[in-house]
Amino acid sequence: MSADTAAIPRPPARTASTPVLTGAEAVVRSLDLLGVTDVFGLPGGAIMPVYDPLMDDESVRHILVRHEQGAGHAAEGYAAASGRVGVAIATSGPGATNLVTAIADAYMDSVPIVCITGQVFSTLMGTDAFQEADIVGITMPITKHSFLVKRAEDIPGAIAAAFEIAATGRPGPVLVDITKDAQQAEAPFVWPPKIDLPGYRPVTKAHGKQIQAAAQLIAEARKPVLYVGGGVIRAQASDELRTLAEATGAPVVTTLMARGAFPDSHAQHLGMPGMHGTVPAVLALQESDLIVALGARFDDRVTGKASLFAPHAKVVHVDIDPAEISKIRTADVPIVGDLKDVLVDLDAAYRVAAAETTADITEWWSFLDGLRDEFPLGYSQPTDGLMSPQYVIQRIGELTGPEGIYAAGVGQHQMWAAQFIKYERPNAWLNSGGAGTMGYSVPAAMGAKVAEPDRVVWAIDGDGCFQMTNQELATCAINNIPIKVAIINNSSLGMVRQWQTLFYDGRHSNTDLNTGHGTVRIPDFVKLAEAYGCLALRVEKEEDVDAAIKTALETNDRPVVIDFVVSADAMVWPMVPQGVSNSYVQYARDHSPAFAEQED
C-alpha cells in the first residue's frame, strides 16, 4: 500500500438522499452551486485531484494561465470589472506563493477574490515535504481569512464561507488551502452547508444619530468637500453618491481607486486628489472646513504629511470597516455602515437639516472655480522629438469612450491614465492602488474581458510592467480573450527615473531598460507579441496614433499589442513631494514652474 493510499480515510456509507463525493468533486460542485462561471488557474501535484472533475464540469470555465500571479491578477480584474467574486486556483508550494503578490494587492484595494490552493498530505505537513509551504501562515496578514481544510466533509462549508467573507463587509481576498488527502477522500455532500463564522458580523446599517450629526455638519459647512474613495465603487453606490452630491452642491474629489465613481463631466467634480492630483482637488481638501470621507482611508498619497493635512476641517468618515475610521485622521462623526445604505440615509437627513439651515457656499465655489481656471490639467510637449505619452493615452480614451475598461500597470503611465482618460462610470478603471504592483495590467485586463466580454478592454502598460506578466498574452490568444495592450514605451522605469531626476540630481541609476529607443530593442515588443499570436504594431509618430488605435478597436479575433515609443523625459505633473504639506502656499510655490512650463 502506497503512502498516498494509506493517507485516504475510508469513505462513509452512501445514502440515497445525500450524494457522496470526493473532496475534489465537492470543490467543483460548490463552485457550481455558488454561481461561479469562470476561474483562472494552473494545475500541479497537490491540486491535481480537483482538476480531474473540473475537466468534466460544464458550468465552470477554467482558463489556464502561464503563471499563478497572472491567475491572481486576472481574478482581481474579473472582480473589479464586474463586482462578482473572482477565483484563482494553484497548487502547493511555489504555486501558492506565486499568488501572494496578487492576494496582497487585493487586500490593499478591497477586491473580493477567493484563492483555492492544494496542500501536501496532512500526514506530511510540517516535514518539509516536496512543495510544502505554510500558505495559510504566509497569507494570514494579507487576507480577510485563510482556511486550512484537512477533511473532505469540511470542504463545502469552507468554500461557501470563503465567498461569504470575500464579498461581504469590506471586500477582500480569502484563501482556502486543501490538503491532498482531503481532496481524495469521500464524504456526504451537504448543501447548503451551515456557515459558522464566530465574530464575523459586518455592520451594514449605520447609527441614526450619527447620520443626523453628519447631515447637520454638511448643512452648516461653508467649505465642504466630498472625499470619495474606492469604497463607493465596491459598494456599488455611485448613483446614491450622485444624488447626495447634487442635493448638497458640494465639490467632489475622487481618489485613484475611485475614478469613475462620480462622472468626470459633472460640474461638481474637481478631479483626483493626492500626490499627482489636480490643483483644485488637492486644495479643496486642504482648505476645506468639512471633509466627508466616503469609503476612503486618508492614505499618505492623498494627505501628504498627515499632521498638516486639512488643518481647519472637521471630518465625517463613513466606512464599512471600523478599523479605518480615525486610523489616520480622527473623525468628528464616525459612521460605520454600508455606503449604499448610508448615502440614502444621509441624503434624507441632509434634506431635513437643510430645510432649517443651509450655509452659503458660493464663495467656496468661486475660489475653486478660480483654481480650475488658473491650473488646468495639462502637459508639456517633449523636446527630444519623441511622442508625448499623455497624448497617446488621451487619444485611447477619446477613441474608445466611457464604456470601455482601462486596466493600468503601475508608474507614470498609471497616473497619466488616471488623469487624461475621462471616466463617466464605475468599474471602468482598474489599477493597483495600494500595493502598486508592477505586472498587474495585462492579467487584470484579461480577467476583466472574461467578466465583461462585450466591452472593449485596454491594458495600459509600461515597458517595465509589461515584461513582468506579458506571458498571459498566450493565455489570451489561446482562449479568445481579445484585449488591447498599449505599451507606453519610454525605455525606462519611468516613475523611478522621474524621482531620480527631481530628487537625486538626475542620477538615473539602473532605470534604463533599452526597450524603445535607438536601433537595438531588447526585447522587440512587436516580435514578442507576434510570437504570442497577437496583432502587433509600433507607433513612433503622433500622426500615426489614431490609426493604430482604430485598428486595435476594429480587431476582435485576437489580442492587439501596440508599442507606443514615447519620450523618457515626460513627467507626471502635478506632483506633491512625499512627506510635505498640501497647503496652498507650499503647493503653489513648489509647482508653479511646472504649470508655467505647461502654459508655455
What was the pLDDT predicted at 518?
A: 67
pLDDT tens digits along 412-452: 999 999 999 999 999 999 999 999 999 999 999 999 999 99
| pLDDT of 234 strictly over 90 | yes
Owner of C-alpha cell 494570514: 140
Of the candidates 209, 214, 211, which has an alpha carbon nearest to the alpha carbon of residue 226? 214
Identify the helix (H) or strand (E) that includes residue 187.
Answer: strand 186-188
| pLDDT of 1 strictly over 60 | no
54 close to 60: Cβ distance less than 8 angstroms: yes
Of the candidates 126, 354, 274, 161, which has an alpha carbon nearest to the alpha carbon of residue 587? 274
pLDDT category at 583 given cuts 50, 70, 90 is: low
pLDDT category at 590 given cuts 50, 70, 90 is: low
What was the pLDDT predicted at 587?
A: 53
Which of these is catalytic: 108, 272, 415, 495?
Answer: 495
What was the pLDDT predicted at 573?
A: 87
Q: Is 180 a catalytic residue?
A: yes
What was the pLDDT predicted at 4?
A: 40
d(CA 365, CA 371) in angstroms, rounded, equals: 10
Cell of 359: 450655509
What was the pLDDT predicted at 17?
A: 79
| pLDDT of 591 strictly over 70 | no
What was the pLDDT predicted at 91?
A: 98
- Percent of the chain having pLDDT more than 70? 93
d(CA 181, CA 2) in angstroms, rounded, equals: 13
Which of these is catalytic: 144, 180, 314, 484?
Answer: 180
Q: Is 194 a catalytic residue?
A: no
Model pTM score = 0.94
185 close to 11: Cβ distance less than 8 angstroms: yes
Owner of C-alpha cell 465537492: 26
408 close to 80: Cβ distance less than 8 angstroms: no
- Averaged pLDDT for residues 332-348: 98
183-192, 319-328, 361-370, 575-584: range with lowest mean pLDDT: 575-584
d(CA 8, CA 239) in angstroms, rounded, equals: 53
How is 208-240 classified by DSSP, letter by letter?
HHHHHHHHHHHHH-SSEEEEE-THHHHTT-HHH
pLDDT tens digits along 9-48: 444 444 557 899 999 999 999 999 999 999 999 999 999 9
22 close to 184: Cβ distance less than 8 angstroms: yes
Task: Identify the sign of the CA torsion 533, 534, 535, 536.
Answer: negative
d(CA 433, CA 223) in angstroms, rounded, equals: 28
pLDDT tens digits along 528-546: 999 999 999 999 999 999 9
Phi, psi dihedrals of residue 204, rounded to the nearest 5° = -115, -30
pLDDT category at 290 given cuts 50, 70, 90 is: very high
In the chain, DSSP finds a helix count (H) and a strand count (E) of 25, 20
Q: Is 131 a catalytic residue?
A: yes
d(CA 499, CA 409) in angstroms, rounded, equals: 18
What was the pLDDT predicted at 550?
A: 98
Cell of 463: 515597458
pLDDT category at 196 given cuts 50, 70, 90 is: confident
- Percent of the chain having pLDDT more than 90? 88
Structural domains in the chain?
Answer: 3-188 (3.40.50.970), 208-374 (3.40.50.1220), 389-565 (3.40.50.970)
Q: DSSP code of 512?
A: B
Q: Is 468 a catalytic residue?
A: no
pLDDT category at 577 given cuts 50, 70, 90 is: confident
What was the pLDDT predicted at 520?
A: 77
| pLDDT of 51 strictly over 60 | yes
Of the candidates 142, 163, 154, which has an alpha carbon nearest to the alpha carbon of residue 181? 154
Q: Is 68 a catalytic residue?
A: yes
CA dist 205 to 10, 291, 344, 359, 524, Å?
A: 47, 21, 11, 28, 55
* 186-188 vs 20-22, strand pairing mode: antiparallel
Which of these is catalytic: 68, 76, 186, 324?
Answer: 68
Which of these is catalytic: 130, 140, 205, 550?
Answer: 130
What was the pLDDT predicted at 479?
A: 98
